């Protein structure tokens, strides 16, 4: 689905959104890490879920402005959430910071962490979006891609195959032994 944020173009994958809506209970809390234009968290907020959004770019007006390359997720978020969304996010961090966010996310999430990231077949540095003045991400240096991830990086995760996302890893990590902090 295409939409506008502050007069700029943005989009969301409807199959992915439908999958998330079908698999996340309306009574559950959600943290959207790297929320961007909130394409995936706003529908949950409208449905009545408790949602917290995080992004490094203030222009998208997240609930918390946080640069997770320089701050630990566990240092800025002490709440527990039922679910975490990291949709088109982890590739925007260097690998060290990305791995740290994954570990921190496991400590603040009670049930599942949903993650989507482009695979090497389509990975770019994302300059084509950051440099396009018609797109929501124009001028957002945080939206540049810094790390490429493979399916092997998520061997401990459950992969979900959705039509149209063949060149992405999409899946979830389930916290069976969650203890919190």
How would you write the pLDDT of the chain (181 residues) with one tens digit per residue? 999 999 999 999 999 999 999 999 999 999 999 999 999 999 999 999 999 999 999 999 999 999 999 999 999 998 899 999 999 999 999 999 999 999 999 999 999 999 999 999 999 999 999 999 999 999 999 999 999 999 999 999 999 999 999 999 999 999 865 554 4
Task: Indicate the burial class of 26 (C-beta count within 10 angstroms; 0-12, 13-18, 19 or more).
Answer: exposed
Which helix (H) or strand (E) is 173 found in, with range?
strand 168-174
Q: How far apart are CA 174 and CA 164, in angstroms?
A: 24
Residue ranges and CATH numbers for the domains of the chain are 2-174 (3.40.50.150)
pLDDT tens readout for residues 75-102: 999 889 999 999 999 999 999 999 999 9
Tell me what percent of the residues of the chain surpass a pLDDT of 70: 97
How far is C-alpha 181 from the chain's CA centre? 22
Concatenated DSSP letters of 70-95 = TS-HHHH--S-EEEEEEES-GGGS-H
């Amino acid at each position: 689905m295409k939409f506008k944020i502050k007069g700029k173009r943005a989009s969301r994958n409807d199959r992915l959104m439908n999958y998330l809506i079908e698999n996340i209970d309306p009574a559950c809390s959600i943290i959207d890490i790297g929320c961007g234009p909130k394409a995936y968290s706003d529908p949950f907020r409208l449905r009545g879920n408790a949602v917290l959004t995080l992004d490094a770019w203030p222009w998208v007006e997240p609930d918390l402005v946080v640069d997770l390359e320089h701050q630990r997720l566990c240092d800025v978020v002490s709440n527990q959430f039922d679910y975490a969304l990291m949709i088109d996010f982890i590739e925007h961090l260097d690998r060290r910071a990305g791995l740290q966010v994954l570990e921190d996310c496991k400590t603040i999430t009670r049930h599942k962490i949903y993650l989507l990231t482009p695979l090497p077949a389509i990975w770019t540095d994302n300059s084509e979006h950051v440099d396009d003045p018609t797109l929501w991400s124009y001028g957002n240096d945080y939206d540049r891609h810094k790390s490429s991830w493979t399916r092997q990086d998520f061997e401990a995760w459950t992969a979900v195959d959705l039509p149209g996302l063949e060149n992405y890893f999409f899946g979830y990590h389930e916290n069976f032994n969650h203890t919190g902090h």
